[in-house]
Amino acid sequence: MSSNPPPSSGSSAAFFDLDRTLISGSSAFVLGVAAWRGKLVPTHQFVRDAFSALQFLLAGADDDTSMGVRDRILGAVKGVRLDDLVALNADIVPKLMERVRPESMRLIEQHRDAGRATYIVSASPIELVEPLAKALGMTAGIGTRSRIVDGTYTGELAGPFCYGPGKVEAMEEIAAVQGLDLERCWAYSDSHSDLPMLRAVGHPVAVNPDAPLERVAADHGWPVVEFRKRSKAVIRRTTQTVGAVGLAVGGFAGGVRWARTH
């Protein structure tokens, strides 16, 4: 198949998961380091969240860990002033830009050149996702919104938690406002936890998929994209399961395939 998305009629968009899809690794870890250095979170909480981020990097997310992440995101910002959290972006955004996969950047550019809106969709706080999207020249970021009263986070949600079905809810809100037809839209993710998002669009693409997503992609004949791997452990897993080192270290042009049907 061609790696270039077809021209757009103007009613479609491309939605990108953030962690392990648009970037290598976990944005939550980068946020946690910045918050810890900025004395917004105590050391014991930083260590706990760092361990959770490592688990996510090695094994991916599931419903239980997602709820834990939701609670930690809300709990971590509770009592923090909005201005203090936003100030961390001067440190966070450049670090995340360094983690953006070159293949992802080319896809964003291809969709943008085709006239499509491009969005990051992530469980990470909107205050992190939106500046990163703008720095990448994307249309906007869709992230978790926390309730703010008198400039301070209350520790409560102010919208859908952007994970699983919550991502679809947020995408549908954007589609309604922008007049998008989700059947004409594209979505990219590495994780089976994003199956609701992938199934909500007409053009789902699995990116470095985990094993459950790989199976679903095979069942439905979805295209699978193998982006460059940054972790040696992940490279070993890829070479064992796919049988080609080139897929682990090669560029985007050589890493597009159709999932094989059983």
Beta carbons within 8 Å of 185's beta carbon, 6+ residues apart: 12, 13, 14, 15, 175, 201, 202, 203
- Active site (annotated) includes residue 62: no
Active site (annotated) includes residue 17:
yes
Q: Which of 19, 49, 190, 210 is catalytic?
A: 19
**What are the residues whose beta carbons fall under 8 Å from the beta carbon of 10, sequence distance 6 or more?**
115
Each residue of 40-77: b (16+ CB within 10 Å) or e? bbeeebbeebbebbeebbeebbeeebbeebbebbbebb
Coil vs helix vs strand at 65? helix
Of the candidates 134, 132, 128, the one whose C-alpha atom is nearest the C-alpha of residue 146 is 128
Scan for tokens 């959290």, then name that residue. Answer: 85
Query: 17, 49, 190, 194: which one is catalytic?
Result: 17
What are the distances in angstroms from CA 162 to CA 31, 134, 172, 241? Answer: 17, 19, 12, 30
Which residues are the active-site residues?
17, 19
